Structure 1
């Protein structure tokens, strides 16, 4: 038994030595579902380096298509730098459930994300939230209603909107009758691929394998996905985002590709952010369109890494009187 204990101790010391010697840090990764309400569940990926217990968390919000897979390069880059990462599919998107009759307004999506964070993280945890496209507005709503927790927002080509109305969503809804047949699915794939290429400075990243992974959840339940996309598109927003931007106290980084695309934020959307958000920085990502997380993930990682490091709060000073210490005697 003594030999076994000695061997276990030596193994632990060896692991610590190897980690400190510069090899990749061990990471605990979980994939699970969280119940937001009866019939409503959010798909979650959580990655946590073992030595990052008290550091800020990167919360990544995918768009309607691609789920956690769309963030894979950014996710890996952040974990490699020692950051904690949460990827949450908003209701109706990606691998999350798609209930009929749910409130799909973007402010309601933010409320669900806030409830999840309250459940999953301690009150002191700080979060940098990044959103793709329309999900960036969910991030803005979240920052407005959870000012104590949200320490920064990164919008990846997402202007402030009040409904799900991206060009890709409109194409899917227009093709809805066709998409429920085999021929229609083939046409839908071509339309989707064309839309992706329009949004990319270099579409070589969009391989056959990537396209299949992006589209697999939709093709498994075409009717259900189209129904929910329609519900999202028609959802009425009780809290227009323009009325909430002034409540955002966290700094925002708006990332724009240097190649104009149909889905890029409009001039009016950018001006609204500049005039309403207290602290905003606009970053240009070179050699990228709207889908910069796929084309130039290293640049996105650098921005988020900078935000996460800036969000680390210094430890509060110790008050000797509260501890009952007498430093004068």
Structure 2
């Protein structure tokens, strides 16, 4: 096409569009990238999961009717109560002992550091069952215990066998073992706090105890909580070893009933398994909310709770249905 003479031609003006979209951009659909490998893997996992559930439900070896009979029997619930008591006492005492050991390990006193390091090294090296059996036979080594001046007169003495009941032995053994692991968890959490926080607290002239309680330890709990809850779950399962010191906890009751009713060994083991799954699941839920509580101020937004995730998923599903219907 030739411009008529005298007509100015603009070199910056774009040429007129030749390809006009049939729909506005907001109405066009964005097609997701096809991922056949993901769909194949999902299908395989679902098939395997369905086969596993089918085997659990239809295999007569599991005797689910006997499982239902034993699940809420008073003897099982009594053993469960003992498991909860032993775990609760040991968790509290073990955490307190771990805090003291961690502070001793971080102190400037070489004696405290050496004693704390030796304790942690020894208790982490000795199997828990050995510790429990040693405490159970402790009265054979020391029939009486006394408090007084070393190599001097004793102020008072008492019979160890009268105080060391099966419950006391189990709690002491688990607490001693738990304190060694909790000490490293607490020490790691304290070391994770930025050094600037210590320096800022010291610059304000705050007492050492106040610095630890109000500044250092609350921040360290963000790192301590998930690690110690992991230890707590291990403690719940380790409590099954108290059966070997004649304390009939949940596992001990199942073992005793299995010896009395040999045909119900598998259902009793399933009862124990399900109860341990319930206990660890409850601890995991508590862990989530504790971590969420101590995450305040450290993250821009708190992680959503399971109920909030469900509501968001339902809202997203409704919005997707509306978009499909509009198209």
Shorter-chain-normalised TM-score: which range? under 0.3
Between Structure 1 and Structure 2, the one with more strand by share is 1
The structure that has the greater radius of gyration is 2
TM-score by length of 2: 0.23
Between Structure 1 and Structure 2, the one with more helix by share is 2
TM-score by length of 1: 0.23
